Structure 1
Amino acid sequence: MMDKHWFQGKHVLVLGLAKSGYHAALLLLKLGAHVTVNDAKDITHTEEARHLMQKNVDIVSGGHPRSLMERSWDYVVKNPGIPYHNPLVQEAQKQGIPVVTEIELASFVCKGEIVAITGTNGKTTTTTLIYHMLKEGNCHPHLAGNIGLVASDVAKNVKEDEVMVTEVSSFQLKGTQFFHPKTAILLNISDAHLDYHGTREDYEMSKAKIFQRMTAKDTIIYNADDPAVSRLVKDAKGKLLPFSLAKKINNGGYKENGAFYFQGKKVMEIEEVSLPGAHNEENMLAAICASLLHGASLSSIQQVLRTFQGVEHRLQYVGNVAGRKVYNDSKATNIESTEKALTAFSDPIVLIGGGLDRGVDFSPLIPSLAHVKAAVFYGETKEQLKATAVKANVPRVKTTETLEEAVKEAFSYSTKGDIVLLSPACASWDQFNTFEERGKTFIHAVQQLAGS
């Protein structure tokens, strides 16, 4: 098995800077590697690149020159967002150079146990819930993942008696060989990121790599209501701990008579929890199972579920503006996420959506648009989404060029008691660098309206 000492004196190419590349480079330096960072953008003037250059890291930016692969590399550490058809990645694979992702590095230096959470939807919410439950229970957790906390930066501070709770994506998992969590959680599987993976099979197999190094001493928490999930865990070697909203599961977590249970013991009444939406019940059940497994008390779990208001950009309650409840769900980058957001509310909804055009058919949204009184769409997909809303008989549908304009239109269509919801159903990359930037732009636009 590979360990951190394998990087001593090795020559490593880090593809893509961003947060993950920056922290991967710093960790590799700490492990004694010779590091070169390559980014398609000109990064030479960024604070991160300047810092790395001061540490004798070679920076090659403004493109991915093929000549880079004429050097002798021991490893390539790839930013998860860089596709596998990238010429440098393909050449590395052709040469037999190991291509790994930053989460792999994190696992080499993490001295404590890793709780890893994946799935198409709900990862961030579940990860954050587990962290707070363990923290409330004095279990010494560390939070990492696509929440702005890079795992390779967090992992080096995790002690042997501590836990790193980390969200992991299919992009990250696809590039792992030795990643070995103590507890793995698979929430759900649906069509997503097929532009990256190419096929549904590749997407599923990438998710399933979370189990590849697990043994009978490890635990797999999984959604027994999801057929794809149940199929993927069938051959995994960890102990299986299922959860279900549909049926009683004596050896796992389940919902019965309006309450959450774990292995026959009542946890709490669902009407006491603060998170809206039936889809969050799955996330909460998964978090309950993991937290109890890692030593949290029932009282600490109950306290978190009563007070947790959601994570930033995931059905985040922005506030009450002129009698309208405003929610930021910018992290809803696919249809299923938006479907779940729309079914989380019983009050009339004014929906704001749109973003990057990936050639997606939006017709699966139609049933969940039943309680939408008005919709405003912007960006590359505005016309496709408009056509979908018209088919769903949404009473008022409008398109705009920008998100800021969409916010103004949405408020003009709303009245007191309505929900104003940003849930784009699309990636942010047509007008924004990240879904976080999109969410912050939305909140700023709402705040400007509130102050006007």
Structure 2
Amino acid sequence: MKATTKYANKKILVLGLARSGVAAAKLLHQLGAFVTVNDGKHIDENPEAQELLEMGMHVVTGGHPIDLLDEGFSLIVKNPGIPYTNPILEHAIKRNIPILTEVEVAYQATEAEFIGITGTNGKTTTTTMIYHLLNASSSNREAKLAGNIGYPTSDVVLTAEKDDILVTELSSFQLMGIDEFRPKIALITNLFEAHLDYHGSRSEYVKAKWALQKNMTSDDFLILNGNQVELRELAKTTKATVLFFATETTEEVDAYLLDGALYFRNEYIMAASDLGVPGSHNIENALAAISVAKLTGISNDVIKESLSRFSGVPHRTEFIGEFSGRKIYNDSKATNILATEKALSGFNNEELVLIAGGLDRGNGFEELVPFIHNLKGLVALGETADKLVEAAKEANVTHIIKTENMKQAVEKAWEISAENDAILLSPACASWDQYKNFELRGDDFIKEIKQIVSR
């Protein structure tokens, strides 16, 4: 950790706890700041706040009192999920109190190099691919996962050495709170419409994502999805050295798909069919990861071996295993139609049974019809089951079954599948009709599969 004095003896408010808030408070405390922690959850139900109190920090819980700002803070470090419309933040902005997220604090506290990854879809998978690629090389530099992937950067920098590389997944919420943050390599997987309830408009969402490169220079590398016209246009406004990846080859593209193979600057890397995870979206993710690998000097042999062995991230087209000749995939993270469309692109529909359905947000599934055409089977569950059944009929799906819950869905999917088929959970819907989150839904799917296998 770098011995920075940037925060020493300054009064700093950490707004909101959860994992990133706790990590930021501890790091700032260690850097010599006078830390006040404010969290909405009452102290009696807040073990994290109790721990920070015992460490000597000032703790205010049970709400966000605006008069707390009268204590004269020089800085606020906020939990990324707290919107800027929160009253205490609105008053802080009026008082010209700087507001950062913990990624910026962590950046100031380490000499380790950053690779920053953001985008709408594919962030976690691409981040994890890059992490495995870097650690598979013979380099003495260690890659560490950090950021929105579940490892608060303020925690990671406590043990990071100067020569380490922090492979950091970054959300739009986090990027709104950076100041000097400057990754050596930055990557934007793609940009689609998302989080409009937080950002207010698509342009503000894109602006937040594009902040990733704001401090980069020509000595730094920015990797962008060349399949998207929007990113090609944005590339004209950065000072960073730009590389493009795309599923089609042009003179401008550095990493691309050609005749079923992945290339980097006319250099053959591997066959796309050798990737350990299926789907056109994972071809894009792999091309992005290959770009990072080549920039960091990793050999083609290491790239091929690592990406061939990569079996995915939990709940993201995750390969669970092959049982009785059936390949099982968990894509519970597919909480919208687009994500399911991308997952389906990696399978032969005539040998695939899809389990889908969940929270009804009022939309239909007409857009999904071309992608489920001639599926061997579609097993629908949850609030959207009836709508999915109608879409399946239109798509000429061979077996169409409506079920009440995951147990029934898995049993029916198993019954209509056979050796050499695949069973894919890719719901195209949020999980909240039956589960608190998509992780619990995916875990339930795996549990039910294992129960059938163990019979």
TM, length-normalised to structure 1: 0.89
SS of residue matched to 2:6: helix
- 2:312 maps to 1:333: no
Residue 438 (str. 1) matches residue 414 (str. 2): no
Question: Following the alignment from structure 1 to structure 2, what is the Cα–Cα distance between the partners of residues 78 and 429?
Answer: 27
Match of 2:218 in 1: 216
CA contact (8 A) 2:332 2:442 kept: yes
Between the aligned partners of 2:246 and 2:269, the Cα distance in structure 1 is: 14
* Root-mean-square deviation (Å): 2.7
- State the distance in 1 between where 2:403 and 2:197 align: 26
Which of these residues, 281, 284, 288, is aligned with residue 282 of structure 1? 284
What is the CA deviation profile of residues 318-347 of structure 1, one whole-angstrom value per residue up to 9, with x for unaligned ones? 123444322111222333221111111114
Identical residues among aligned pairs (%): 45
Post-superposition shift, 1:220? 0.6
Q: 1:191 to 1:349 in 2, by over 3 A?
A: farther
Q: Which residue of 1 aligns with 2:315?
A: 313
Q: Where does residue 49 of structure 1 map in the other structure?
A: 49
| Residue 367, structure 1, aligned to residue 370, structure 2 | yes
Q: Deviations over 1:124-146 (max 9, x none)?
A: 12111111111111242112233
Deviation by residue 1:189-226 (Cα, 9 ceiling, x = unmatched): 11222232221111111111111111111111111111
**2:15 alignment partner AA:** L
Paired AA for residue 303 in structure 1: E
The 2-side partners of 1:357 and 1:65 are apart by 37
Report deviation, 1:428: 4.2
Equivalent residue of 1:288, what SS?
Answer: helix
Deviates more, 1:170-179 or 1:278-287: 170-179
> What is the TM-score of this pair, normalised by structure 2?
0.89
Alpha-carbon distance in 1 for matches of 2:43, 2:439: 21
Match of 2:102 in 1: 102
Tell me, yes or no, if the aligned pair for 1:195 and 1:358 is still in contact at 8 Å: no
Does the alignment pair 1:261 with 2:263? yes
C-alpha distance after superposition, 1:90-139 (max 9, x if no partner) = 33223322222222222212312111111111111211111111111124
Could you say if the C-alpha distance between residues 236 and 271 of structure 1 is closer, same or farther in structure 2, counting changes exceeding 3 Å? Answer: same
Q: What displacement does 1:184 show?
A: 0.7
Please give the alpha-carbon distance, in whole angstroms, between the structure 2 residues aligned to 1:102 and 1:343: 37
- Contact kept, 8 Å, 2:277 with 2:318, in 1: the verdict is no
Counterpart AA for 1:144: A
C-alpha distance 372-217 of structure 1, shift in aligned 2 (>3 A): same
Aligned length: 449
Question: For residues 444 and 437 of structure 1, what CA distance do their matches in structure 2 show?
Answer: 10
Secondary structure (helix, strand or coil) at the match of 1:255 reads strand
CA–CA distance in structure 1, aligned partners of residues 8 and 369 of structure 2: 55
Q: Distance in 2 between matches of 1:384 and 1:225?
A: 31
User: What is the match of residue 157 of structure 1?
Assistant: 159
Which residue number in structure 2 is paired with residue 353 of structure 1? 356
Whether the aligned pair in 2 keeps the contact of 1:242 and 1:249 (CA below 8 Å) is no
Relative distance call for 1:205 and 1:63 in structure 2 (3 A) is: same
Residue identity in the other structure for 1:91: H
- Residues 320-329 or 35-44, more deviating: 35-44
Which amino acid in the other structure matches residue 153 of structure 1? D
Deviations 1:335-372 (A, max 9, x none): 32211111111143333334455555644323222244
For residues 151-204 of structure 1, give each alpha carbon's deviation from its aligned partner in whole angstroms, at most 9, with x where no partner exists: 221133332222111111222212223221111111111122223222111111
Equivalent residue number for residue 9 of structure 2: 9
Structure 2: gaps (5+ residues) = none
CA contact (8 A) 1:14 1:77 kept: yes
What aligned pairs does 1:129-148 form with structure 2 within 5 A after superposition?
Answer: 129-137=129-137, 138=139, 139-148=141-150
Unpaired segments ≥5 residues, structure 1: none
